[in-house]
Amino acid sequence: MSAQVERKLDEIPARRFPGFVVKAVIVLALALVVLVRRFDVTGDSAITNLLTLIFGFIAIAALYGWFLFVSNFPKTARVGSLAGLILTLGVLGVLFKIERVSGSLFPKFSWRFAPPHDATLDKPVAVVTEEAIDTASPDPASFAQFLGPDRNAVLRGVQLARDWKQHPPKQLWRQSIGAGWSAFAATNGFAVTLEQRGPEEYVTCYDVLTGEVRWSHAEEGRHETTLGGIGPRSTPTIHNGKVYTLGAFGIVLCLDAPTGELLWRVDLLDKFGTNRKQDMEVVAWGRAGSPLIVDDLVVVPAGGPPGKAVSLVALRQADGSIAWQAGKTQVSYASPTLATLAGVRQIVSVNENNVTAHDPATGELLWEAPWAGNSAADATASQPLTPGDDLVLLSKGYNAGSKLLKIVADTEGKLTSELVWADPTILKTKFTNAAIVDGYAYALSDGLLECIELASGEQVWKGTRRRLGDYGQGQILAVGDVILVQAEEGEIVMVEASPEGLHELSRFPALHGQTWNTLCLYGKYLLVRNSEEAACYELELRK
């Protein structure tokens, strides 16, 4: 191989290209790196990092090309460097792999032959106890579904102590957990989540105070992609003594909350005429919609093959049979929500490329509005928020930004949506959601905490890249008059929920590693997890 390279190099004139051309390419590439990073011209940190990689590679390739083909360095040095480069890249490729990437496309490398963390875990083993899980008693602290009691990332009636140096969070337990981006749902002293352990996807019930496993239920299947990670994405819903879940491959389960006994099971892919391979082509990062309880129904995004998709399906709580199905748009990664808009009770669903509203009893379409997206590319993951009697706030990453809709009824009662404002530069929620407090919306906008005035859509304040307010693609939960931020690297930060400015109050390292999971605050107990570990912290409340 070296002899062939030498012959090729001999055939190239010593100075085939003028030196200034190489210099110009290098200077231009480096200038573009500075431009995209310093002035945020892309508006998306992931695109910025990708362009940085491309332009940086061009600069290095131009410099190395000059050295290899144009410079007057000895031929043996040039041939040796090329052979060394090829050998080094080959060895690195054999020994290491990209395990996953962050929300801003920073890769994490791991030893190619090491098993993933979840594959090293044993099956969950339940602790034998005579104490039964109580699901009958009312629990005012209940955080029994995705994003809290109202499914809007806002928790009212709780006031947290603001100084964690004076009142440090008390760690009750911290332990390994299976992979996945599911969060905890908690009530009556137990918490349920979804996790991946090897080839099986588990619904696991933990004791809030001890972290002990009370029961688990396994389903065969492993969803895994480099960009999306490993395991299930949705959060369980606990209701009337039952636990409802949606797995990454569309398996809907109804389990008995005290025991974990399977009551019924529905395979959405089978019901709607598709399979796992085909589903991963159109919903690339796994089913993420958390089940919504409406009256005696369980409503989940349905899906299906291209051209035949169903947006929503309502299953009867009693047996999982289909009550109705609605919509013809492919599913997104958001969850349906219940609201009353323009005096009409309705289910609002953010789908792949639109948002629709449906009659809870029949699934009848009440109104719809465009909301661009592609569930295999620029995916939509953020919840619709309904702040008031007739408003719907939509937000999204990938430079889509946000818009506010007003739902109006005509003289015959027909509903339509009207655009109040739209701005692609604000509330760019990629994997996270906005929270509305006292007329202001707060969100991690491409990783930077931001506050906007809801009525006008005007930005009030925003964090700065690599400085105050830069928390990565994490999650938030508004609790009383503060915002809890789960930073992408696992730290919990408490920020004042105020339009007066970005004011950090306290912070502590709750977890280590990439964390895309939403928060669960059960009374004074903060339950957090990521794809490798989970923990519970007791927080001091203000009296």
* Average pLDDT value for residue range 295-322: 97
Q: 40, exposed or middle or buried, with CB in 10 Å at 0-12, 13-18, 19+?
A: middle
pTM: 0.94
For residue 38, tell me if it sits in a domain: yes
Q: What is the pLDDT of residue 13?
A: 52
Same domain, yes or no, for 391 and 501? Answer: yes
Same domain, yes or no, for 219 and 73? Answer: no
Same domain, yes or no, for 414 and 473? Answer: yes
End-to-end CA distance of the chain, in Å?
Answer: 76
Helices 19-38, 45-65: inter-axial angle, 10-degree rounding: 170
Same domain, yes or no, for 78 and 209? Answer: no
Q: Which of 120-134, 204-218, 317-331, 467-481 has the least mean pLDDT?
A: 120-134
pLDDT of 31 higher than 60: yes
Same domain, yes or no, for 311 and 454? Answer: yes
- What is the 8-class DSSP label of residue 291? P
Q: What is the pLDDT of residue 388?
A: 87
Which of 37, 63, 97 is a domain's end point?
97
- Residue 41's SS3 state is coil
Q: Which tens digits make up the pLDDT trace of 186-242?
A: 999 999 999 999 999 999 999 999 999 999 999 999 999 999 999 999 999 999 999
Q: Which tens digits make up the pLDDT trace of 397-433?
A: 999 999 999 999 999 999 999 999 999 999 999 999 9
Q: Which of 129-133, 423-427, 468-472 has the least mean pLDDT?
A: 129-133
User: Which domain, by its residues, includes 86?
Assistant: 2-97
Same domain, yes or no, for 326 and 464? Answer: yes
Helices 75-95, 2-11: inter-axial angle, 10-degree rounding: 130
CA 68 → CA 10, 16, 19, 25, 197, distances in Å? Answer: 11, 12, 13, 16, 49
pLDDT of 16 higher than 80: no
Residues 6+ apart with CB under 8 A from 418: 405, 406, 407, 408
Domain count, the chain: 2
For residue 200, tell me if it sits in a domain: yes
For residue 129, tell me if it sits in a domain: no
Q: Which amino acid is at 303?
A: G
**Sign of the CA dihedral 456, 458, 461, 467?**
positive
Same domain, yes or no, for 152 and 85? Answer: no
Q: What is the pLDDT of residue 11?
A: 58
* Average pLDDT value for residue range 367-383: 96
CATH number at residue 407: 2.130.10.10
For residue 104, tell me if it sits in a domain: no
Which of 41, 64, 97 is a domain's end point?
97
Yes or no: say if 404 and 391 are a contact pair by the CB < 8 Å rule. yes
Please compute, for residue 89, the number of CA atoms within 13 A of its CA located in the half-sphere on the CB side: 5
Confidence label for 8 from pLDDT (cuts 50, 70 and 90):
low
Same domain, yes or no, for 49 and 182? Answer: no
CA 262 → CA 135, 216, 388, distances in Å? Answer: 16, 10, 39
- Residue 110's SS3 state is strand
pLDDT of 44 higher than 70: yes
